[in-house]
């Protein structure tokens, strides 16, 4: 569900689920909606290195699974889709209710890519708490109803992981290490272009985001996407204002100038899905003799890898794209690296 940040959130919960049941996780591809039409699949190992995740739980790449495991352990005639409860087909009015696992985009392309067709469905809604193994009795129910001897492969129609992700699963981000090509490109860019210390910022301001920020009002008490990262779980660490979601140019510039001054930054790195604000940020920093940079060819993975390496990161609290960076900085080093959020005034 959703794009990269949303998918990583659900991956964290899925890792926790597989680990909790002592199962091997078949590493799913990431789903890319950038091009119109059918979603494209990006192999997991083109984004993250499986060997680091395997320090935490048993994993296998989808290619290995398709080649070495599926043909024998999960014969074609035994392949069942697992979903919460039956639903009607979107396209065939008279079709019986079921999981309809391959219906629509990206579901059809996803399972085609995995080389899987299903002969039947299974509904796990009978398990109280579903995939949330912290619910009392859930873990033993999974082991009883779906033992690995009777169900060697559990194939879910949706990720068995919460969205937004739960704080207890955030630390697992440290096992998601970028693939070597992404890391090398990010390091090359940093070495050749940026002067340290540098402030990295993420500006999430494309048109789709405006719709998200309209859901914010001063007495909102629940979370929106990644907002727990700055507001806390209850939420208790600040007011949920529109500026946190869609910071004005003034808010962005004040935060950048303030951080550049306080850490003595020598450059600023900006990533954005729309408006990089290069001119106003550059003008605001002329007095500091600090230059502002972006990637020549914006690439979301390289952008995230550069932001992770910044001396200070300022992100968008509501964006799950930003939260990939903040979690990495929080949990991957012996000393967490500092991050803050536009428009957020911690209480």
Q: Which is nearer to ligand GFB, 11 or 70 (CB)?
A: 11
Rounded to a whole number of angstroms, the minimum distance from the CB of residue 7 to ligand GFB is 7
| SS3 readout for the chain | CCCHHHHHHHHHHHHHHHHHCCCCEEECCEEECCCCCCCEEECHHHCECHHHHCCCCCEEEHHHHHHHHHHHHCCHHHCEEEECCCECCCCCCCCCCECCCCCCCCHHHHHHHHCCCCCEEEECCCCCCCCCCCCCCHHHHHHHHCCCCCCCCCEECCCCCCCCCCHHHHHHHHHCCECHHHHHHHHHHHHHHCCCCEEEEEECCCHHHHHHHCCCCCCCCCCCCCCHHHHCCCCCCCCCCHHHHCCCHHHHHHHHHHHHHHHCCCEEEEEECCCCCHHHHHHHCHHHCCEEECCCCCCHHHHHHHHHCCCEEEECCCCHHHHHHHHHHHHCCCCCCCEEECCCCCC
Q: Which residues bind ligand GFB (CB under 6 A)?
A: 2-6, 202, 204, 208-209, 212, 225, 271-273, 298, 300, 303, 319-321
Q: How far is the CB of 98 from ligand GFB (least distance, A)?
A: 26
Q: Which is nearer to ligand GFB, 6 or 267 (CB)?
A: 6
Q: Which is nearer to ligand GFB, 16 or 271 (CB)?
A: 271
Q: Cβ of residue 168: shortest distance to ligand GFB, in angstroms?
A: 20
Cα 194 from Cα 131, distance rounded (Å): 44
CB of 284 to ligand GFB, least distance (A): 20
Residue of this chain nearest to ligand GFB (CB atom): 5
CB of 73 to ligand GFB, least distance (A): 33
Q: How far is the CB of 36 from ligand GFB (least distance, A)?
A: 15
Instruction: Please state the closest distance from residue 25 (CB atom) to ligand GFB, in A.
Output: 21
Backbone φ and ψ of 339, nearest 5°: -135, 150
57 or 212, CB closer to ligand GFB? 212
């Amino acid at each position: 569900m959703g794009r990269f940040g949303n998918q990583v959130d659900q991956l964290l919960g899925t890792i926790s689920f597989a680990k909790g049941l002592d199962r091997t996780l078949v590493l799913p591809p990431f789903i890319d909606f950038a091009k119109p039409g059918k979603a494209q699949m990006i192999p997991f190992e083109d984004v993250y290195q499986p060997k680091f995740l395997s320090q935490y739980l048993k994993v296998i790449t989808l290619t290995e699974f398709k080649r070495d495991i599926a043909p024998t352990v999960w014969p074609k005639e035994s392949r069942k889709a697992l979903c919460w409860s039956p639903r009607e087909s979107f396209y065939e009015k008279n079709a019986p209710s079921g999981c309809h696992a391959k219906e629509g985009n990206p579901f059809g392309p996803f399972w085609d890519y995995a080389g899987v067709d299903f002969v039947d469905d299974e509904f796990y809604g009978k398990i109280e708490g579903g995939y949330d193994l912290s619910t009392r009795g859930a873990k033993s129910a999974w082991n009883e109803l779906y033992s690995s001897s009777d169900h060697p492969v559990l194939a879910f129609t949706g990720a068995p992981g919460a969205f937004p992700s739960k704080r207890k699963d955030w630390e697992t981000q440290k096992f998601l290490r970028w693939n070597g090509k992404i890391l090398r490109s990010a390091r090359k860019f940093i070495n050749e272009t940026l002067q340290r210390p540098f402030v990295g910022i993420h500006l999430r301001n494309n048109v789709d985001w405006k719709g998200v920020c309209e859901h914010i009002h001063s007495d909102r008490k629940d979370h929106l996407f990644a907002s727990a990262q700055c507001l806390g779980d209850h939420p208790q660490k600040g007011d949920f204002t529109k500026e946190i979601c869609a910071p004005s140019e003034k808010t962005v510039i004040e935060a950048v100038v303030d951080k550049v001054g306080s850490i003595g930054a020598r450059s600023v790195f900006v990533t954005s899905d729309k408006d990089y604000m290069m001119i106003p940020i550059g003008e605001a920093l002329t007095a500091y003799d600090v230059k502002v940079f972006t990637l020549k060819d914006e690439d979301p993975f390289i952008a995230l890898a550069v932001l992770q390496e910044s001396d200070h990161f300022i992100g968008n609290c509501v964006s799950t794209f930003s939260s990939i960076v903040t979690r990495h900085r929080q949990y991957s080093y012996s000393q967490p690296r500092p991050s803050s959020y536009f428009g957020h005034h911690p209480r």
